[in-house]
Amino acid sequence: MKTEKEYINLLPSKKKKPARAAGPWLAVGTLFVLVWLILFGLKAKQWIELQARLESLMPQKQFLEQQVAALRAELGLTTAAGGSPEQAALIQSLLKERVLWSEVFQQFSRIIPRGIWFDSLEGSSVGEAEIKIRGGAFNYRLISDFMLAMEQSGYFEKPELVFAQKATLQGRDIVGFELHCGVKKSQGVP
């Protein structure tokens, strides 16, 4: 039953409208926040991975810095790395004056024929770098093959045979020898 008020009211009654949909702006805003959160999460994950990688590289960096410091001390350099071009040129000239003995020994291992052995090996890098080798071989041909290989290697200069003397050791003929040759100082410098 209708109340008196409803009969007296001259204004038409308002019908309730269905609730409006949240609207396109709310959907766009929600989508924007969702995409932003996803991108933020990806960047945060990348940052965490990079921090972990940086921490794993720190011991290697410290080791390399120690090696650089040791090399600088060996060369007698007191200035910081990354100096002027004049300093770089000085370092290169100092390196060209050094003999890289590890390279020399590697060359020996490549060129020495079977049947030759060294009793002593004396190297000097003061002034002109040279090596004095005393050793033995099973025959004279092996010594000449070794000297030829030294000449062709590009690391050694003018090998000279000081002496070669045949002897008998434990019932076997051997040839004792001594040779001298120069060593190129700049063989390992780029």
**Tokens encoding 164:** 């070669």
Q: How far, in Å, are 21, 24, 37, 84 from residue 18 at the CA level?
A: 9, 17, 33, 79
Determine the pLDDT at residue 132. 92
Determine the pLDDT at residue 128. 77
Determine the pLDDT at residue 189. 40
Determine the pLDDT at residue 185. 65
Calpha distance 3→79 (Å, rounded): 102
Contacts of 176 (CB under 8 A, 6+ apart): 134, 135, 136, 163, 164, 165, 166, 167
Determine the pLDDT at residue 190. 39
Determine the pLDDT at residue 108. 84
**Tokens encoding 84:** 């002027």
Determine the pLDDT at residue 44. 95
Domain boundaries, the chain: 26-96, 99-183
Tens-digit pLDDT string for the chain (190 aa): 666 666 666 666 666 666 565 677 888 889 999 999 999 999 999 999 999 999 999 999 999 988 888 887 777 665 555 566 677 667 666 666 667 777 888 888 888 888 899 898 888 777 778 889 999 999 999 999 998 998 888 788 888 889 888 888 888 888 999 999 888 765 444 3
Domain 99-183: CATH architecture, name and number where available: 2-Layer Sandwich (3.30)
Determine the pLDDT at residue 188. 44
Determine the pLDDT at residue 167. 85
Calpha distance 84→91 (Å, rounded): 11
